[in-house]
Amino acid sequence: MAQVIAEVSRTFNEFLLLPNRTRTDCSPATVDLRTPLVRHLAGERSAIELGSPFTSAIMQAVSTPDLAIALARNGGLSFLHHNQSVQDQAAAVRQVKNFKAGFVTSDTNVRPDDTLSHLVSVMRRTGHSTAAVTHDGTATGRLLGLVTSRDFHPQRHDLDGPVAGRMTAIAELPHAEADTTLSEANARLWDQRLDCLPVLGTDGHLQYLVFRSDYADNKRFPNQAVDAEKRLRVGAGVNTHDYQERVPALLEAGADALCFDSSDGYSDWQAQALSWVKKHYPEIPVGGGNVVDGEAFTFLAEAGADFVKVGVGGGSICITRDQKGIGRGQASAVLDVAAARDAFCERTGEYVPICSDGGLVHDYHVALALAMGADFVMMGRYFARFDQAAGAKLPTRDGFVKEYWGEGSNRARNWQRYGQGGQGLIFEEGVDGYVPYAGDLNEGLATTIAKLKTTMVSCGSVTLPEFQSTARLTLVSDQSFQESHANVTLRDTPATIA
Ligand code: RVP
């Protein structure tokens, strides 16, 4: 007869945090959201730490290079999806690794013999008013000068004349060497009262432009997740089918961490794949999952996983529970796996971080997941709402929405993630839908981080380990759940007030 686990399977909505005493040293400004990403010795620091405990889902609709850049600048990490060719995924990793904050690849470029009217049309197309004049009109050609919209006027100058006649030539143009840091470039912009500083390679070819107008933006991200060379960090999803080809290509492209991505990671396939990576590429951290109980966590940790993802069936686009009857409430899953993580650490002296993946509906669910022992969270729906995600932004009667579809939907057909036998999906495990549009990731995530910090302050914690070890949770009844919400008629609800 099957074993029935006595404990009910619970979700985040069934819990609330109790406030703890808030000390005077405890304020949002002193809260430190740093968290370990990968396996490390207990009491030591993880080789990769995130500045904030957020990762974006390994999904077509979510983790684009643009989103990875924005999230890493905010201290988190994206895992670029593997539902694309090895070459395309490696190129996406390269795009993130090549990003240099404040160093812009010029998109407005002309040749010296191009006419001013051509320049006007290029500026109109890009919306930018500074153009690089290079020998071949490309972003990386030999720089001959800069020309801006202030250098000519259609009524004063002959628009059929060449750009060279109005540009500031390279001989008179302050410029920087390739190894210039952003703070050195910014210092020159201000000291020499420049609007733009070109950065050149040794052969005089243009590499980047640094703009004074980006200065405030560059100061905005004190918490970036960067590698030893100050490049933004990025992760990549892999699967148990083509990993022997995919893993080396992703490493070559510069991925900082990999993660086996499966709707059910408690399998010999995943253990074999983890061991293969550990044997051939011991230097690259690799995570596993997804699991929902301690037994499965221990299995993957022993197989070499450097972190383990928790969650089956809770994703907002996921219908695995409806289709297969497999899954577990996310709160119960995280609590069970966190206990196994601590027991594993006690036994081996090694701490293997865990990630709560999927099913985070409200911002406060992030705090609950962390309090329950998750070291970081992974979110799909949350990030899919932002400009930087892949889905199209579409107008509706009430505003905008973004497309968001599951990896197990017919649209994504990520059969490598779902063990249905053979190459293809026999039935869908995900849906294709819309989420409310939420604008720029930087602004949305700042609000979520502000809420998380104030929750931690109410719980008397300034670090995540402190939060995890001191948080007190209570189960809520249906009645107290209802009491949690506003209990008045809201102003923007049409209603007759008696
Ligand atoms: P959510 O944040 O609730 O949108 O959930 C995202 C998670 O859902 C992903 O990280 C992944 O684990 C899971 N997922 C992705 N696609 C599907 C599916 O099609 N069923 N599920």
Q: Over the stretch 36-57, which tens digit does the pLDDT of each residue have? A: 999 999 999 999 999 999 999 9
The residue-averaged pLDDT of 186-200 equals 94
Partners of 399 in the β-ladder:
396
The residue-averaged pLDDT of 123-138 equals 93
Q: Which of 246, 355, 417, 459 is catalytic?
A: 417
d(CA 392, CA 394): 6
d(CA 52, CA 333): 22
Paired tokens of 355? 């990630």
**Alpha carbon of 106 to ligand 1 centroid (Å):** 36
- For residue 266, what pLDDT is reported? 97
The residue-averaged pLDDT of 48-70 equals 97
- Out of 11, 13, 59, mutate this one to test ligand 1's pocket (max ligand atoms within 8 Å of CB): namely 59
- For residue 216, what pLDDT is reported? 72
- For residue 493, what pLDDT is reported? 61
> Is the confidence at residue 428, as pLDDT, over 70?
yes
Q: What is the pLDDT of residues 271-316, one digit of tens each?
A: 999 999 999 999 999 999 999 999 999 999 999 999 999 999 999 9
The closest-lying atom of ligand 1 relative to the alpha carbon of residue 382 is: 2
Average pLDDT, the chain: 94
- For residue 412, what pLDDT is reported? 86
**Alpha carbon of 445 to ligand 1 centroid (Å):** 19
Report which residue type is found at 245: E
Q: Which of 465, 481, 401, 476 is nearest to 31 (CA)?
A: 465
- For residue 208, what pLDDT is reported? 93
pLDDT band at 488 (very low <50, low <70, confident <90, very high): confident
> Is the confidence at residue 497, as pLDDT, over 70?
no
d(CA 439, CA 441): 7
Q: What is the largest CA-CA distance in the chain?
A: 91
- For residue 274, what pLDDT is reported? 98
> Is the confidence at residue 423, as pLDDT, over 80?
no
The closest-lying atom of ligand 1 relative to the alpha carbon of residue 379 is: 2
**Alpha carbon of 358 to ligand 1 centroid (Å):** 6
Q: Report the phi/psi class of residue 472: left, alpha or beta, with left for phi > 0 and alpha for psi in -120 to 50.
A: beta
**Alpha carbon of 70 to ligand 1 centroid (Å):** 20
- Dihedral, 60, 254, 214, 107 alpha carbons, nearest 10: -70
SS3 assignment for the chain? CCCCCCCCCCCHHHEEEECCCCCCCCCHHHCECCEECCCEECCCCCCCEECCCEEECCCCCCCCHHHHHHHHHCCCEEEECCCCCHHHHHHHHHHHHCCECCEECCCCEECCCCEHHHHHHHHHHHCCCEEEEECCCCCCCEEEEEEEHHHCCCCCCCCCCEHHHCCEEHHHCCCEECCCCHHHHHHHHHHCCCCEEEEECCCCEEEEEEEHHHHHHHHCCCCCCECCCCCECCEEEECCCCHHHHHHHHHHHCCCEEEECCCCCCCHHHHHHHHHHHHHCCCCCEEEEEECCHHHHHHHHHHCCCCEEECCCCCCCECHHHHHCCCCCHHHHHHHHHHHHHHHHHHHCEECCEEEECCCCCHHHHHHHHHCCCCEEEECHHHHCCCCCCCCEEEECCEEEEEEECCCCCCCCCHHHCCCCCCCCCCCCECEEEEECCCCHHHHHHHHHHHHHHHHHHCCCCEHHHHHHHCEEEECCHHHHHHCCCCCCCCCCCCCCC
User: Which segment of 354-368, 391-405, 415-429 scores lowest on mean pLDDT?
Assistant: 415-429
The closest-lying atom of ligand 1 relative to the alpha carbon of residue 316 is: 3
Percent of the chain scoring above 90 in pLDDT:
84
**Alpha carbon of 490 to ligand 1 centroid (Å):** 33
- For residue 494, what pLDDT is reported? 57
pLDDT band at 495 (very low <50, low <70, confident <90, very high): low
- For residue 116, what pLDDT is reported? 96
User: Residues with Cβ within 6 A of ligand 1?
Assistant: 57, 59, 290, 311, 315-318, 320, 357-360, 378-382, 406-409, 429-430
**Alpha carbon of 406 to ligand 1 centroid (Å):** 6
Q: Which of 26, 196, 318, 355 is catalytic?
A: 318
The closest-lying atom of ligand 1 relative to the alpha carbon of residue 314 is: 3
- For residue 285, what pLDDT is reported? 98
The closest-lying atom of ligand 1 relative to the alpha carbon of residue 263 is: 12
The residue-averaged pLDDT of 248-260 equals 98
Q: Whose CA is nearest to atom 8 of ligand 1?
A: 315
Paired tokens of 336? 């069970």
Q: Which of 389, 431, 333 is nearest to 56 (CA)?
A: 389
Beta strand 130-134 pairing with 109-110 = parallel
Let me know if 94 is a catalytic residue: no
By the 8 A CB rule, do 105 and 208 touch? yes
Q: Report the phi/psi class of residue 134: left, alpha or beta, with left for phi > 0 and alpha for psi in -120 to 50.
A: beta
- For residue 415, what pLDDT is reported? 87
- Going 223 to 227 to 232 to 235, the CA torsion angle's sign is negative
**Alpha carbon of 439 to ligand 1 centroid (Å):** 21
By the 8 A CB rule, do 318 and 408 touch? yes
The closest-lying atom of ligand 1 relative to the alpha carbon of residue 431 is: 19
- For residue 374, what pLDDT is reported? 98
pLDDT band at 498 (very low <50, low <70, confident <90, very high): very low
The residue-averaged pLDDT of 364-391 equals 98
> Is the confidence at residue 245, as pLDDT, over 90?
yes
Let me know if 318 is a catalytic residue: yes
User: Which segment of 169-173, 313-317, 409-413, 483-487 scores lowest on mean pLDDT?
Assistant: 483-487
**Alpha carbon of 73 to ligand 1 centroid (Å):** 23
d(CA 58, CA 60): 7
Sheet holding 432-436, edge to edge: 393-396, 399-405, 432-436
Backbone angles phi, psi at 274, to 5 degrees: -60, -45
CA distances from 168 to 5, 105, 173, 199 (A): 75, 19, 7, 15
- For residue 107, what pLDDT is reported? 87
